[in-house]
Structure 1
Amino acid sequence: MIAALISAGWTTQAAAESDLSKVIKAVTASKSGLTASQADSGLREALSLGAAAAVTRVARTDGYWGDSLIRIPLPDTLSKAQRTLKPLGLSGALDDVHLKMNRAAETAAPAAKGLFIDAIKALTIQDAIGIVKGGPTSGTQYLQKATTPRLTTLFTPPIETALQETGAVQALDRAIKRNGLNGYIKKEPKVYLSEFAVGKALGGLFHYVGTEETAIRTDPAKRTSAILKAVFG
């Protein structure tokens, strides 16, 4: 519905208007008082609020580590070794890596906010159409597609630094030597851990961007401004 209003007010592309003609008629009947500008503002505000809430949620102590839904696991080889060694009381080094990898993600997470803001500002009419015609997390999917390459680049240095500063790389190196895992870890500990941690950290972040987007779309209590109530109410 929002996309139809934006299309009617902003675009003259015949193909887009044809594709959305039925939606436009429905919007005119149901939300005739909503302008294209208001619809655009509401969509951007919803995405901005969802992204900001997700970043705030994960970018705190135990944002990852204390949340079983997004806690970053150890890579499979290390996780198996951890499970084997834990009953014997010998998993301390791997437990340390596990915790510090999550702490590194919590440290790096605030960097996502600026990229999300840039992506939302760059939203086009076709992006908006896709978001509104899509499912309850279509906005999140747009952000994920638009920002993942840059987020990966942005997250990697802070993740690597945090892994070093928190001692995770050193802990992994000790665990590899202590538990005879040299043959299973083909990359340098820093590269191995950072690539894995960045991927899982972004997955957890987008999980909560999607959760927030769905809530704004479906829960009236989440529509905290007049424009959100007008657009999604």
Structure 2
Amino acid sequence: MALSKLALAISLSVATVALAAPAHAQSRKSTPSLGGSMKGLLGNASDSALDQLGRPGAFYADQAVRILLPGPLQKATKLLRLTDRAGITNNLVKSLNDAAGLAAQEAKPVFRSAIDSMTLADSVGIVAGGDTAGTQYLRRTSGEVLRQKMRPLVSSALGRTGAFKQLDSLGKGGTGGVLGALAGVDLSRDGTIDSVTDQAMSGIFTYIGREEADFRRNPLKSGKKLLDRVM
């Protein structure tokens, strides 16, 4: 009885997830496999999450995923207040969040590549798992690889938003450097790249999990959203 229920659940998942599979994937194979369907589900969840976080100001607007300056929050906040007043920085935290958003805009192929490596056995386990089983699988199996591929995107974005220029001012031996040392804040470029990358990855997985859970609750609604984008 339990086996038949699992088979029914898998069959239903194949049917509903197929609604969200990319049109080009459906054209290649008229009857979607379970593995292909789950890849479609996670692929569309990651695309949607990255689209949302790639919008200007998205990271900064959501306190749940907002990128913060490396170091103890309270001390880092005090440091920024002092450096802003001294004219050393100009909304550095906003620049860090803008950089995370730019990196998210460019990360779709990175996440799609990781998702494409899923096997049929992985897919069966994800179907039988909870609302965010696919996201947890992706984070567990590919999190570090994804982080390493995201890091150069973050580094480039930090340069484009002017964050590095402000960090360099803070890290010099003058007032900014002394305050940074006292606050326990890592103002080096490498330290900031690592911190922003880690925080951005955490935010991205948070959003992918939300999208996956929403699809599982409302598969037809999610499929219609996808169709609306294509038409």
Give the Cα separation in 2 of the matches to 1:219 and 1:97.
Answer: 39
Unaligned segments of structure 1, at least 5 residues: 1-21, 226-233
Residue in structure 1 matched with residue 198 of structure 2 by the alignment: 199
> Which residue of 1 is the match for residue 135 of structure 2?
140
Name 2:179's counterpart in structure 1: 181
Once residues 220 and 43 of structure 2 are traced to their aligned partners in structure 1, the CA distance between those partners, rounded to angstroms, is 17
1:223 Cα deviation (Å)?
Answer: 3.3
Question: How far is the alpha carbon of 1:67 from its aligned partner?
Answer: 1.9
The change in CA–CA distance for 1:186 and 1:175 in structure 2 (over 3 A counts) is closer
Q: Which residue of 1 aligns with 2:78?
A: 83
Task: Calculate the TM-score normalised by the size of structure 1.
Answer: 0.73
Residue 24, structure 1, aligned to residue 3, structure 2: yes
Q: Do structure 1's residue 154 and structure 2's residue 149 form an aligned pair?
A: yes
1:78 is displaced (CA, Å) by 6.6
Aligned partner of 1:43 in structure 2 is 38
Unaligned stretches of 5+ residues in structure 2: 16-30, 225-231
Amino acid at match of 1:183: A
Q: Find the aligned partners of 2:218 and 2:41 in 1 and give their Cα distance.
A: 12
8 Å contact from structure 2 (residues 155, 193) kept in 1: yes
Contact 2:99 2:158 survives alignment (8 Å): yes
Change (3 A) 1:92 1:45: farther
2: CA distance between counterparts of 1:32 and 1:208? 26
Alpha-carbon contact 1:85-1:91 (below 8 Å) kept: no
Q: Does 1:211 align with 2:210?
A: yes
Higher mean C-alpha displacement, 133-142 vs 183-192: 183-192
Q: Distance in 2 between matches of 1:153 and 1:61?
A: 24
CA distance, structure 1, for counterparts of residue 188 and residue 144 of structure 2: 22
Q: Radius of gyration: which is bigger?
A: 1
In the alignment, residue 46 of structure 1 is paired with which amino acid? Answer: L
TM-score under structure 2 normalisation?
0.74
RMSD: 3.1
**Shift in Å, 1:145:** 2.4
Larger displacement relative to structure 2 (41-50 or 83-92)? 83-92
SS in 2 for 1:156: helix
Following TM superposition, by how much is the alpha carbon of 1:95 offset from its aligned partner in structure 2, in angstroms? 5.5
**Which is worse superposed, 195-204 or 213-222?**
213-222
Q: 1:32: Cα distance to partner?
A: 6.8
**Whole-Å separation in 2 of the counterparts to 1:191 and 1:29:** 50
C-alpha distance in structure 1 between counterparts of 2:83 and 2:186, whole Å: 28
User: CA 1:222–1:93 in 2, change beyond 3 Å: closer, same or farther?
Assistant: farther
Contact 2:72 2:185 in 1 (8 A): no
Contact 1:44-1:120 at 8 Å conserved across structures: yes
Q: How many residues align?
A: 204
Task: Tell me: CA distance 1:24–1:98, structure 2 relative to 1, closer, same or farther (3 Å).
Answer: same
Select the residue among 108, 117, 142 that pairs with 1:113: 108
- Tell me the distance in 2 between the aligned counterparts of 1:62 and 1:32: 40
Tell me the CA shift for residue 61 of structure 1.
0.7
> C-alpha separation between the residues in 1 aligned to 2:94 and 2:8?
54
Contact kept in structure 2, 1:64 and 1:106, CA below 8 Å: yes
CA deviations 1:105-124 (Å, max 9, x no partner) are 11111332112222222211
